[in-house]
Amino acid sequence: MAAPSKSKPAPWTNRRRRWRPEGSLAVVTGASSGIGRELTLLLAGKGCRVIAVARRRERLEELVAEAKRLSPKAEVIPIVGDVTDMSVRDQALEQVRVLGEGKLDLLVNNAGVGGIGRFMDADPERMRQIMEVNFHAPVEWTRGAMEMLRNAANDFPTRQCTPVICNIGSVLGHRAVPEKSEYCASKFALHGWSDSIRAELTSDGIAVVLVSPSTTKSEFFDSLVGTEAGQKSKSFGSWPADRVARAAYAAIVACRSEVILSLGGKALVYSDRLTPPLVNAILARTIENAD
Ligand SMILES: NC(=O)c1ccc[n+]([C@@H]2O[C@H](COP(=O)([O-])OP(=O)(O)OC[C@H]3O[C@@H](n4cnc5c(N)ncnc54)[C@H](OP(=O)(O)O)[C@@H]3O)[C@@H](O)[C@H]2O)c1
């Protein structure tokens, strides 16, 4: 009888999944303010080189200076442009080729926009624009970066660092609310897509982390798409952006599949899982009362 073959274990088995900042290379989109800015500073301070992407050049220049001020060895490489423009993605990935020999350890799809107001009162362009930035852009940045993430995964035995795709979602990607239909749709799409590719990429040794913040103090509500002036978000409490960034960082390091942030956020998501009809009724009442 033939002896059982001692085939080599598949590279992803017996691996303790973990991510390390030291000596890593990351791409963070939406790095010019809020969560993306804070996460960039955190990563850079811990020895990760960060390719920081956003449209506002002066904000990125300020970010580079701030990172150096906090930690003289910090390396933040700015790429100015719109995440929906694939030539901007290609510029960022070219930097990965040059600086990281084609290996990318972390992609943070963070750039995002919102909009407030009833679906039927909105210009159809609001849906298109929000879906482009919040969903199609992360999809295409991930597609473009995949080969480089796989190159980093193949380096696991040497570096003991699992490459991570971190998508910044929202609690509204778990439970939708009225008057943010476009935003909820975009974050639900991001959530579903993240769950699906997480399973697909397990065999490649790449982790997919979905971070779902609740209301966060940032510039988010200053740049709403297709929204009448004076429209306010109906949300309770908020976390500062640096707290959200620290929670996202912890999730990345531990290669967590999903984190839902804040007590209010967890209350919304878990009460909906327990009793969706009750949450539907409460949300419908908030709209009726506003009429
Ligand atoms: N704030 C909240 O209450 C909240 C709650 C849950 C989830 N989130 C999510 O958290 C993420 C970060 O938001 P934030 O709160 O930190 O808001 P923020 O301060 O407004 O930051 C958004 C970032 O995205 C960038 N951005 C927006 N559109 C872009 C585009 N087309 N191309 C390139 N960059 C673009 C902005 O930079 P430029 O303008 O310079 O391009 C900015 O750096 C978003 O995905 C958001 O959906 C936020």
Exposure string over 169-202, b if 16+ CB within 10 A, otherwise e: bbbbbbbbbebbbbbbbbbbbbbebbeebbeebe
Domain membership of residue 281 (yes or no) is no
- The mean per-residue pLDDT over the stretch 20-38 comes to 98
Ligand 1 atom 32, closest CA: 82
The answer as to whether 11 is a domain residue is no
Domain assignment of residue 186, yes or no:
yes
Check if the beta carbon of residue 233 is closer than 8 Å to that of residue 191.
no
In-domain check, residue 257: yes
Average pLDDT over residues 169-175: 98
Answer for the pair 81, 90: CB distance below 8 angstroms, yes or no: no
Per-residue pLDDT at 105 exceeds 60: yes
pLDDT number for residue 289? 67
Q: How confident is the model at residue 14 (pLDDT cuts 50, 70, 90)?
A: low
Which residue CA neighbors atom 23 of ligand 1 most closely?
A: 30
What was the pLDDT predicted at 11? 52
Domain, as residue range, for 36:
25-262
Q: Stretch 110-134: mean pLDDT, rounded?
A: 97
**Is 261 in contact with 239 (CB distance < 8 Å)?**
yes
Per residue in 47-65, pLDDT (tens digit) is: 999 999 999 999 999 999 9
- pLDDT tens across 208-252, in order? 999 999 999 999 999 999 998 888 777 767 999 999 999 999 999
Count of domains observed in the chain: 1
Residue 289 lies in a domain: no
Q: Whose CA is nearest to atom 3 of ligand 1?
A: 215
Q: Is 113 in the pocket of ligand 1 (CB under 6 A)?
A: yes
For a pocket test of ligand 1, which of 28, 33, 174, 269 has the largest count of ligand atoms closer than 8 A to its C-beta?
A: 33
Residue 290 confidence class, pLDDT cut points 50, 70, 90: low
- Does residue 81 fall inside a structural domain? yes
Catalytic residue, chosen from 135, 183, 188, 220, is: 183
CB of 133 closer than 6 angstroms to any ligand 1 atom: yes
172 alpha carbon to ligand 1 midpoint, in Å? 15
- Segment 7-14 mean pLDDT: 49
183 catalytically annotated: yes
Domain annotation covers residue 279: no
> What spacing in Å lies between the alpha carbon of 102 and ligand 1's midpoint?
27
In tens, the pLDDT along 188-211 reads 999 999 999 999 999 999 999 999
Do residues 186 and 135 lie in contact, with contact meaning Cβ atoms separated by under 8 Å?
yes
223 lines ligand 1 (CB under 6 A): yes
What confidence score (pLDDT) does residue 291 get?
59
263-285: per-residue pLDDT in tens?
Answer: 999 999 999 999 999 999 999 99
Judge whether 253 lies within some domain. yes
Q: What is the CATH number of the domain that holds 225?
A: 3.40.50.720
Q: In this prediction, what percent of the chain has a pLDDT beyond 90? A: 88
pLDDT of residue 230: 80
The verdict on the CB of residue 112 being under 6 Å from ligand 1 is yes
